[in-house]
Amino acid sequence: MQKWGKAAWTGTIKEGQGLISTQTGVLKDAPYGFKSRFEDGPGSNPEELLGAAHAACFTMALSLMLGNNGLTAERIETRADVTLAKDGEGFSITKVHLTTTAKIPGTDQATFEGIAKQAKEGCPVSKVLNAEITMDATLEA
């Protein structure tokens, strides 16, 4: 299986503008640029897109692994905070922190944390990232 995303850019790094699109068309010419990445400007940026992809991947992996343990979540919500830090002359993504909260009948916090850890390590997006990936997992009653 292969999926694609694409980006186009015109202009200088600070005044230029880019457009992001995905194969499914969910994103079609969505704007991104310096201000949306390094300031509070409108549009998207690679770090939030990576965060959304990682959160989605992890959440699906967690659902799979819960099912493998005979559990079904009523709801799982995950946020991925992606850290972009200065690295010499450029920047690096140095960390991703996953925060997941789930309502899963028939389990306890320790079991949930163990399954969540397996999902974090097994998620394909986690595997491709070389950044430190940390996590908080909360089971709701």
What CATH number is attached to the domain comprising 100?
3.30.300.20
Same domain, 89 and 31: no
Same domain, 33 and 91: no
Query: Phi/psi of residue 122, each to 5°?
Result: -90, -15
Residue 31 pLDDT exceeds 90: yes
Predicted pLDDT of residue 103 = 97
Q: Per residue in 34-75, pLDDT tens?
A: 999 999 889 999 999 999 999 999 999 999 999 999 999 999
Number of structural domains the chain divides into:
2
- 129 — pLDDT class (breaks 50, 70, 90): confident
Domain enclosing residue 33, as ranges: 5-38
64 within 8 A of 53, measured Cβ to Cβ: no
130 within 8 A of 108, measured Cβ to Cβ: no
Q: List, edge to edge, every strand of the sheet that includes 30-32.
A: 5-10, 17-22, 30-32
Same domain, 14 and 83: no
Same domain, 56 and 80: yes
Global pTM reads 0.90
Which residue type occupies 135? M
- 1 — pLDDT class (breaks 50, 70, 90): confident
56 within 8 A of 123, measured Cβ to Cβ: no
- Name the nearest CA neighbour of 84 among 72, 71, 94, 70: 94
Same domain, 78 and 112: yes
Same domain, 11 and 74: no
Greatest Cα-to-Cα distance within the chain, rounded to the nearest angstrom:
55
Same domain, 60 and 125: yes
Predicted pLDDT of residue 118 = 97
Same domain, 33 and 65: no
Residue 130 pLDDT exceeds 90: no
Q: Per residue in 77-114, pLDDT tens?
A: 999 999 999 999 999 999 999 999 999 999 999 999 99
3-state secondary structure of 120: helix
